[in-house]
Structure 1
Amino acid sequence: MTGEHSSKQYDQELEAIRSKVLLMGGMVETQFDEALECFRVGDADRADRVIAEDQAVNQLEVSLDDACSHLIVRRQPTANDLRTVMATIKVITDLERIGDEAAKIARTSKSLHERGAIGFAHYDMVRTIAKATCEQLHDALDSFARLDGKRALQLIAADEVVDHEFRTIMRTMVTFMMEDPRTISSALDTLWVAKAIERIGDHAKNIAEYVIYVAEGRDIRHMKAVADQAAT
């Protein structure tokens, strides 16, 4: 009975952690959406709120890391239970970094719009990569909530679409700067935003890899064959 009671307590504690991780995921997803809206319309007050929200995300990361550490010490999980806790810790780190990238987008947006007109439709440059990455992040969080390894595998292939779009944006920005040096500052800001979006896609891909690690016991990081499998 003692062992069964201990197992139930572990399950309850782990589920409480997972619920808070999903809460954190919702926070950074909203932060990302709001940062993109700042970039679209140039709302300085909204940008300040996005930047301030990053502190709450950081505090939640510290709290969750501490909860995971205590869970390991108290319950000493093994096998799949330990994989789940370790993967959860890594998901927490990726979520915190997504929050950092969203804050970067907000800061860059605020700076860009404070300088006035820029000569080209900067938001249109990132519209496609932003939409793809928002969907990728949402699906990554959903696959984590459901521990859906099959869906997570599909997300890994989707990251290549985001990477391709970033390379296209980079070439376009270089062309703008070569043709009209007056756009250099704004084009660089747009490129930094696109890079932050691309990095968020990378973190979403990481989350998908951790889901597969928990659901299937496979560590697929840096495995090209898996990426090829996901794409087919």
Structure 2
Amino acid sequence: MLTLPTPAVVAIGSRGGRLVAYDVEGGKFYDLPIGLEGIDVAELKIEGFSVRSHVAVASYATSFIKAIAVDGDAELLDVGGLRKMQRGAVTIQTVKGREFGRWDDVWNKLILIGGPAGVLAIGASRAGSLLHLSTARTDARHVKAVTDSLELLRKFGEVSVACSCRLGLLPVELLARRGTEYVLVKIYMNIQNRRSDGVVVIKGSGGNIHRRFIGPLENLNLFIQEVYRS
């Protein structure tokens, strides 16, 4: 995880075959220890007053974290499912002028960069004045598990999505509410950790837990259907 003081603008891309972040305001590069095999990540470089990268993330006020796709496509995972991120140029003028109006809100949301044989997940969060950026490999199976679960949970009630991006497992929590009842689904997106094959599904009301399932990702839909029947 990369931690920087705010205000901060961070560009993320590949450099010499490695995943790298560049602190635009501090002028410093950071290696991010994630393998890029099978993932299409645009090159990170500085060209005059332009910052070329795959994505850029900016954080200023306490609850302000925004991002934009620069030289490559990226998707954002939120309550609507997967959606393509806004694309645009990042320049020194953009940074100095705080011109982030078109950028996507990415607070505790996952940014996903795909490829023929893998997916890069980037999560951004804040703790006080610090910006935390977590990166990990995930895969199409985990992404599909989240989007499929979202559709199933909509049948139960109002749905919200959040990523605990400071945790190494990059857990995504899907919560559906109907009155005082709720269904919570937790999926661990970091496939470099063996716990990523497990999921948690809970049904409860108020402060009480009525059903809990912990098991393999492949049984996720069965767990959700089972809590619906209870």
Shorter-chain-normalised TM-score: which range? under 0.3
More strand by share: 2
Normalization by structure 1: what TM-score? 0.26
Q: Greater Rg, structure 1 or structure 2?
A: 1
The structure, 1 or 2, with the larger RCO (C-alpha pairs under 8 Å, 6+ apart) is 1
Normalization by structure 2: what TM-score? 0.26
More helix by share: 1
